[in-house]
Amino acid sequence: MALQLQVLIVSLEYRLAPEHRLPAAYDDAVDALHWIKTTKEDWIVKFADLSNCFLMGTSSGGNLAYHAGLRACEVSDHLDPLKIKGLILHHPFFGGSERTGSELVMEDDPILPPRVCDAAWKWVLPVGADRDHEYCNPTVSNEFERCVAIREMGCRVLVAGCFGDPLIDRQMELGKMLEEKGVRTMTHFGNGFHGLEVSDPSKAPALFIVLKNFIYEL
């Protein structure tokens, strides 16, 4: 991907649930941004354009990119000269207490059945939180208002997913919410399943075209 998009990629590690429930992973992601800003590593100092950064993640990484992006936009002054220009949410993992139409239709999905998502959220969310918590369901929480920070920073968002993913309705709903808040939003939905390009690398070139168009505003 780095070669195809002509970008420098920093892949981060973060604390995992259930030992470290959310927001630990979000905090780690923001800490990583501060590290990028201050590091003396040659490959960052020599080749990275800190004024043109994008946060990207697939599945749970898409959730992480969204929430870390919110936090980064809210503390942008402390990240200078690092600037977040966009969020790339690839098959982002979100949920909710009520089933969506796609979750009902694909309740026995062989890759990501909703009941497995429910179990995951049980161990990831803060103790006592339900699936309408802002970390899980941004469309029914105060996160709806917080996304104004993304708009005010001029940060763009790409939401990409597949129609064979039980989470597709939630992904489309997120894209709609961002657009309604005035965030410059690009959506890309096609045939396939959750994590398509990760499972089938032959599908990745088509995704790279979408990413390139978004990053370079082609």
Domain boundaries, the chain: 2-6+17-213
Q: What is the pLDDT of residue 146?
A: 76
- Whole-prediction pTM: 0.96
CA distance 21 to 15: 8
Q: What is the CATH number of domain 2-6+17-213?
A: 3.40.50.1820
CA distance 169 to 33: 31
Catalytic residue among 67, 91, 133, 194, which?
194
Q: Give tens-digit pLDDT for 1-30.
A: 999 999 999 999 999 999 999 999 999 999
Confirm whether 59 is a catalytic residue: yes
- Which residues have C-beta within 8 Å of that of residue 110, sequence separation ≥ 6? none
Q: How confident is the model at residue 218 (pLDDT cuts 50, 70, 90)?
A: low
Q: Give tens-digit pLDDT for 86-137.
A: 999 999 999 999 999 999 999 999 999 999 999 999 999 999 999 999 999 9
Confirm whether 194 is a catalytic residue: yes
Catalytic residue among 67, 165, 169, 188, which?
165
Confirm whether 34 is a catalytic residue: no
Q: Which residue has the tokens 């139409």?
A: 101
Contact 113, 99 (CB under 8 A): no
The answer to whether residue 143 scores a pLDDT higher than 80 is no
